[in-house]
Amino acid sequence: MLITINNVLSKDEVRQFRSYLDRAEWIDGASTAGTLARKAKHNTQIDDKAEVAVSLGNHILRSLGEHPLFISAALPRKIYPPKFNRYAIGENYGTHVDSAVIHIPGTGQSLRSDLSATLFLTEPEEYDGGELEIESEFGVQTVKLGAGDMVLYPSSSLHRVTPVTQGARVASFFWIESLVGDDAERSLLFDLDQAIQKLTPGLGADEHNLIRLSGIYHNLLRRWAIT
């Protein structure tokens, strides 16, 4: 399942982010890739330990914590501290799959990557190329979102970033371990939850059946969640 979550950051917040990121020190992105991915990865990143990465990353985590659509879609158990990357002209990331188990720096803990997230920090008009292409069962999905918007996609999928041919593409990216690791189960829960949310406002007399549906949601989550 591929889900777009709009307005994780407002345009004002994106402007603030960009003013910090434009002054930050960018290092070779290949230094943090696995052996196979390293050959495919041509971009720059901010060091995870840099103060700017930590503070902007925490800002993103706070925004996500208050975003009902994100919670409903991801059912997050652990979120990797958000990282930042930049693709200048000629840079790209060839087809790869993200590592399944990722060490969380400074914690001694690891995370199973169920979902990968890209939060766009440049507007589509600011660069050419730089599309995120995700191979799904329905073919290749091409993603290029407005600044402040985010895509969530299964970490199990093959994906790539096409070469930037004009301008630069700046984004935050990170991984999520979900309470529900199975993508199909999580998708069913998301659909059910969204349908319940849509039914809720105009309900009135049929409240009892809505409570039953809500009970089914929670009882499925109880079956499938690993906490």
Q: Given the rule CB under 5 A, which residues bind Ni ion?
A: 98
Nearer to Ni ion, 65 or 94 (CB): 94
**Considering beta carbons, is residue 91 or 98 the nearer one to Ni ion?**
98
Nearer to Ni ion, 13 or 98 (CB): 98
Residue in the shown chain whose Cβ atom is closest to Ni ion: 98
- Closest contact distance (angstroms) between CB of 87 and Ni ion is 13
Q: Would you say 72 or 113 has its CB closer to Ni ion?
A: 113
- Neighbouring-strand partners of residue 116: 153, 175
Cβ atoms of 44 and 28 closer than 8 Å: yes
- The string over 188-216, giving b where at least 16 C-beta atoms fall within 10 Å of a residue's C-beta and e elsewhere, is bbbebbeebeeeeeeeeeeeeeeeeeeee
Shortest gap between Cβ of 160 and Ni ion (angstroms)?
A: 8
Q: Name the minimum Å distance from CB 222 to Ni ion.
A: 32
**Residue 118: CB minimum distance to Ni ion, A:** 9
Q: Minimum distance from CB of 34 to Ni ion (Å)?
A: 10
Residue environment code for 58-68, b if the CB has 16+ CB neighbours within 10 A, otherwise e: ebbeebbeebe
Torsion, Cα of 67, 184, 143, 60 (10° steps) = 30
In sequence order, the 6+-apart residues with CB closer than 8 A to the CB of 190 are 1, 3, 72, 73
**Between 98 and 131, whose beta carbon lies closer to Ni ion?**
98
Q: 173 and 205 in contact (C-beta within 8 Å)?
A: no
Q: Are 66 and 74 in contact (CB under 8 A)?
A: no
Minimum distance from residue 96 beta carbon to Ni ion (Å): 6
| Nearer CB in complex with Ni ion: 98/177 | 98
| Residue 195 · residue 167 · CB < 8 Å | no
Is 98 or 193 the residue whose CB approaches Ni ion more closely?
98
Nearest approach, Cβ of 162 to Ni ion (angstroms)?
13
Per-residue CA distances from 115 to 122, 153, 171 (Å): 22, 6, 16
